[in-house]
Amino acid sequence: MIEQFSRTEILLGEEAMERLYKARVAVFGVGGVGGYTVEALARCGVGQLDLCDSDTISVSNINRQILATHSTVGQLKVEVAKKRILDINPSCVVRTYPFFYLPDTADRFDFAQYDYIVDCIDTVTGKLALVERAAAAGTPIICSMGTGNKLDASAFQVADISKTSVCPLARIMRKELKKRGINHVKVVYSQEDALTPAVDPEELARTGKRQIPGSVAFVPGAAGLLLAGEVVRDLIKA
């Protein structure tokens, strides 16, 4: 029994921990949602983590992203995540990919080598490509739906995409996946109606800026931890 994971092993058992040590999980997007997913997977003893994200940490990330502090502003999120993971579990093998996952970068990954894929990216195009590639490789995937403009962390739940409601992103994904012959994928989504941000629309019109979703610390974190929980439970019963 490895002491740092002893409390987890008490709950899951030696065989389950061995499965986690041997697992290789890819997390696409390590921001507000994905950062918490990576944190939990590392603390559960997952042996290999592949992280894909092109972003650097900004001051505006500090309110909700676990990787974002004043000392990490300006650094690549995947590199900050790698350093944090290795501080949690020095034995973890961490691979970083500092670019966006899009159809034109998809060929850089062999999805068959992963035991699980976690989608925490923002673009519909990228999310669809991830699900398609995962389906083709026969690799389990779980996707995060919209977390912006939400305030009720308890409204998040795990469901098949076919059973989702309320969430606009889930509706778009459901429709587009159906066109591609994919009717089922596990997701984390919220049944809370999105709140209207407290931003003056006239000011947006005057400046020409797009509406940026509002966020708080506990909402994307809740979604990210739900994602990690599903991954761990699926891996140990595989």
Tens digits of pLDDT across the chain (238 residues):
678 999 999 999 999 999 999 999 999 999 999 999 999 999 999 999 999 999 999 999 999 999 999 999 999 999 999 999 999 999 999 999 999 998 889 999 999 999 999 999 999 999 999 999 999 999 999 999 999 999 999 999 999 999 999 999 999 999 999 999 999 999 999 999 999 888 756 555 555 557 789 999 999 999 999 999 999 999 999 6
- Tell how far CA 57 is from the center of its chain: 16
Candidates 24, 36, 89; CA nearest to 223 is 36
Instruction: Give the pLDDT of residue 2.
Output: 75
Alpha carbons 131 and 115: distance in angstroms, whole number: 14
Q: What is the pLDDT of residue 103?
A: 82
CATH code, domain with 56: 3.40.50.720
Q: ∠161-170-115 over CA atoms, to 5°?
A: 50
The count of structural domains within the chain is 1
The number of residues making up the chain comes to: 238
* The one-letter amino acid at 162: S
Q: Which residue do the tokens 């068959």 mark?
A: 112
pLDDT at 200: 59
DSSP state, residue 59:
G
pTM assigned to the model: 0.95
Task: Spell out the residues 6+ positions from residue 74 whose beta carbon is closer than 8 angstroms to its own.
Answer: 56, 57, 58
Structural domain containing residue 16: 3-237
